[in-house]
Chains A and B, each alone.
Chain A
Amino acid sequence: MPTTKESWRAKEWTSSLRRIRSPWLLAILALLLPAVALFSMTVGTVSISFVDAWHAMAVSLSADSQAVTSQTQVILFDIRLPRVLLAMFVGSVLASTGAVMQGLFRNPLADPSLIGVSGGASVGASLVIVFATGLFGSSVVESGVLMGLSLVAAGAFLGGFVATILVYRLATSGIGTSVTTMLLAGIAIGALAGALNSLLSYFADNDMLRQISLWQMGNLSAASWSKVFIMALVSLILLLRFPADSAALNALLLGESEARHLGIDVQQVKRRLIVLTALGVGVSVALAGMVGFVGLVIPHVVRLLIGPDHRWLIPCSALAGAILLVIADSLARVVVLPAELPTGILTALLGAPFFIVLLLQQRREV
């Protein structure tokens, strides 16, 4: 029947035209991010109108502002601005590393946590919470010890680092790093980390337990300017370095030997991207706890919109991840006023249904 064939062709055309042109998406996201960030500045327990926010910013930017430190300004610049910026940088790092990992593993459902960094980080954090609190008391653990970072953050970063090295070593042999083995090693190390975490929770007292579970939910409320600077630096390193490997990631989607035949030093690219991802996710998790779903959902959605070309996928994912986390964090501040929800709960609540809709849609198309 020619008619069915024609309509089948037509359907394929429309589905291929569903894509947005990449530069357009990048431009839209780049415009959306400052708007969302500005909006987020006005949201919270104390609601500040746009006009007041503008005014406060204008005053602080003008030269004769030393005397003026109104309550509005304190809220805006000491509490909300660092928090919004931290959300932006954490979101961009999680989403861009997610895109990179999905490319490297040739699996659209891969996640930065696959290389073991999140599991390791949570064990590191739990270890510090349980043992250091027992040894020194909670005040030392919570107060700043290193450039405004808590011991918990340092423990998380170290834990994530050790776990990544373990996973990488397990998957690397004389002939190179096997991505499949790495996936399995990541699952194994993740399971081990889960067990260690449960063990630590079992021995923890009530106070520690609450601290552990709050940390695992991911929280941006403890944002400070020192955290923002560290996160901004990491985000900058990643986003400046990733474009150079975008073509290599595109070629890797064909398969590793095909990428090699296209002149790409696969082993070097793999090692570099894993180190950068471990750095990015390690620092994000250390500073903001476990914020899930951003690294999985954002690159996936962006890929549906513009296709898998990493030259556009990575920057668009970074912007979209920043936007999602800023929105999620704004909601976290207001949904249960006057209290606050941990941000990680919001990203999962927003991300999971969205992801399910996408899966259903894909199932219908196939």
Chain B
Amino acid sequence: MTLAAHNISLHLSGFDLLRNVSMQVQPGAVTAIVGPNGAGKSSLLRVLTGEMAPTAGEVIFNQRPLSDWPVQLKAQMLAVLPQHSLLNFPFTANEVVGLGRIPHQTGTNRDAEIIADALKLVDAQYLQRRFYTQMSGGEKQRVQLARVLAQIWLPCEHGEQFLVLDEPTSAFDLAHQQLTLDIVRQLASRGVGVVMVVHDLNLAARCADNLVVFNGGEVAAQGSPEQVLTEQLIDQVFGVKVTIARHPATNKPLVIS
């Protein structure tokens, strides 16, 4: 029961965006995708979430081809947080998070509890009745995070649940970055498979069980952060000379540039 890409290629208007990519997102684990700009990270997320069909290869989601799942069942198991949101209508935070309950039929009362709990989890309960359009960038992103959390709040009987995050911490201050990582770890310990694109290698090293490094539409390396993050690889992929040390508290790899 995984979310897995098997030999995925994506060819779009003359460009090879992805070449022969294989990777797995395990339930109960955090998979981080890193790589330079334009390496194909977002394209991979689009294919993994079924937004784009791969030119070759197959995405298997809970033992069935992803495109075989009915849209509503898929939405009960797979939540996706995009990098940017287009929302420019004055929904309150409560209403935005409530949208995450659309795929479910749990009733208004249960939904209201879930909405309140999800907002509390992302430290945004004070935003409940405020308008989304009047929030700061970080507040908006927290409310959107609460929305996708509400979408997979309760376990689903049809299969394992997965959460896909595209740069979830880009607009956050230090405290909320840490909070997001804690939430991600909590979800993983509950059995949810998390896959996220991040830019901060140290953040990825601290949080991920599985690290996938992308370069030029291909997987350059994957494995545990300890295995993957080497001075040689970072030079080869990012073209930056760094030193890898150990974090004094967590003993995770620490990239010092």
Which residues from chain A sit less than 8 Å from chain B, CB to CB?
A: 12-13, 15-17, 106, 108, 247, 250-251, 253-255, 257-258, 260-265, 303, 307-309
Interfacial chain B residues near A303, Cβ < 8 Å? 89-90
Please determine whether B102 and A258 come into contact, CB atoms closer than 8 angstroms. no
Interfacial chain A residues near B76, Cβ < 8 Å? 263
Asked if B85 lies at the interface with its beta carbon under 8 angstroms from chain A, I say yes
Interfacial chain B residues near A12, Cβ < 8 Å? 130-131, 134
**How far does the Cβ of A97 sit from chain B's closest Cβ, in whole Å?**
18
- Determine which of A106, A253, A262 lies in contact with B103 in the assembled complex, contact meaning CB atoms within 8 Å: A262
- Determine which of B50, B80, B130 lies in contact with A16 in the assembled complex, contact meaning CB atoms within 8 Å: B130
A12, B130: Cα distance in complex, Å: 7
**How far does the Cβ of A251 sit from chain B's closest Cβ, in whole Å?**
6
Please determine whether A262 and B90 come into contact, CB atoms closer than 8 angstroms. no
Segment at the interface with A among B21-29, B92-100, B228-236: B92-100
A307-B92, A308-B90, A309-B91 given; A262·B51 CB < 8 A: no
- Determine which of B85, B90, B91, B102 lies in contact with A247 in the assembled complex, contact meaning CB atoms within 8 Å: B102
Which residues from chain B sit less than 8 Å from chain A, CB to CB?
A: 49-51, 71-76, 78-80, 82, 85-92, 95-96, 99-100, 102-103, 129-131, 134, 151
Please determine whether B87 and A108 come into contact, CB atoms closer than 8 angstroms. no
Closest 8 A-B residue pairs measured CB to CB?
A: A263-B75, A263-B72, A263-B103, A308-B89, A255-B86, A261-B80, A262-B102, A263-B71
Closest to A255 in B: B86
A262, B97: Cα distance in complex, Å: 12
Please determine whether A253 and B100 come into contact, CB atoms closer than 8 angstroms. no
Closest to A102 in B: B89
Please determine whether B151 and A258 come into contact, CB atoms closer than 8 angstroms. no
**How far does the Cβ of A258 sit from chain B's closest Cβ, in whole Å?**
6
A260, B80: Cα distance in complex, Å: 10
Interfacial chain B residues near A13, Cβ < 8 Å? 129
Closest to A258 in B: B82
Interfacial chain B residues near A260, Cβ < 8 Å? 50-51, 71
Closest to A304 in B: B90
Interfacial chain B residues near A264, Cβ < 8 Å? 71, 102
Interfacial chain B residues near A253, Cβ < 8 Å? 87, 89, 91
Interfacial chain B residues near A247, Cβ < 8 Å? 102
Please determine whether B95 and A309 come into contact, CB atoms closer than 8 angstroms. yes
- Determine which of A255, A262, A307 lies in contact with B95 in the assembled complex, contact meaning CB atoms within 8 Å: A307
Q: Which of A263, A264, A303 has the most CB of B within 10 A?
A: A263
Interfacial chain B residues near A255, Cβ < 8 Å? 82, 85-87
Q: List 26 A-B contacts (CB under 8 A).
A: A12-B130, A106-B88, A250-B95, A250-B99, A253-B87, A254-B86, A254-B99, A255-B85, A255-B87, A257-B80, A258-B80, A258-B82, A260-B71, A261-B51, A261-B80, A262-B102, A263-B71, A263-B72, A263-B73, A263-B76, A264-B102, A303-B89, A307-B90, A307-B91, A307-B95, A308-B90
A108, B87: Cα distance in complex, Å: 12
Closest to B102 in A: A262
A261-B75, A263-B72 given; A308·B91 CB < 8 A: yes
**How far does the Cβ of A106 sit from chain B's closest Cβ, in whole Å?**
6
Please determine whether A262 and B87 come into contact, CB atoms closer than 8 angstroms. no
A261, B50: Cα distance in complex, Å: 9
**How far does the Cβ of B151 sit from chain A's closest Cβ, in whole Å?**
7
- Determine which of A108, A251, A254, A263 lies in contact with B74 in the assembled complex, contact meaning CB atoms within 8 Å: A263
A247-B102, A253-B89 given; A261·B130 CB < 8 A: no
A255, B147: Cα distance in complex, Å: 14
A250, B96: Cα distance in complex, Å: 9
**How far does the Cβ of B252 sit from chain A's closest Cβ, in whole Å?**
31
A262, B100: Cα distance in complex, Å: 7
Interfacial chain A residues near B86, Cβ < 8 Å? 106, 254-255, 258
Beyond A250-B95, A263-B71, A263-B72, 14 extra complex contacts between A and B, CB < 8 Å: A16-B130, A250-B99, A251-B102, A254-B85, A254-B86, A255-B86, A258-B82, A258-B85, A260-B50, A260-B71, A261-B80, A263-B73, A303-B89, A308-B91
**How far does the Cβ of B198 sit from chain A's closest Cβ, in whole Å?**
20
Q: Which of A247, A255, A258, A264 has the most CB of B within 10 A?
A: A258
Interfacial chain A residues near B78, Cβ < 8 Å? 261
A250-B99, A262-B75, A262-B103 given; A257·B82 CB < 8 A: yes
**How far does the Cβ of A173 sit from chain B's closest Cβ, in whole Å?**
13
Closest to A365 in B: B134
A15, B134: Cα distance in complex, Å: 10
**How far does the Cβ of B34 sit from chain A's closest Cβ, in whole Å?**
23
Please determine whether B102 and A254 come into contact, CB atoms closer than 8 angstroms. no
Closest to A107 in B: B88
**How far does the Cβ of B162 sit from chain A's closest Cβ, in whole Å?**
11
Interfacial chain B residues near A17, Cβ < 8 Å? 129
A299, B151: Cα distance in complex, Å: 29
Interfacial chain B residues near A15, Cβ < 8 Å? 131, 134
Interfacial chain A residues near B88, Cβ < 8 Å? 106
Please determine whether B131 and A16 come into contact, CB atoms closer than 8 angstroms. yes
Please determine whether B130 and A262 come into contact, CB atoms closer than 8 angstroms. no
Please determine whether B129 and A16 come into contact, CB atoms closer than 8 angstroms. yes
Closest to A262 in B: B102
Closest to A248 in B: B102
A15, B131: Cα distance in complex, Å: 9
Q: Which of B89, B102, B130 has the most CB of A within 10 A?
A: B89
A260, B102: Cα distance in complex, Å: 11
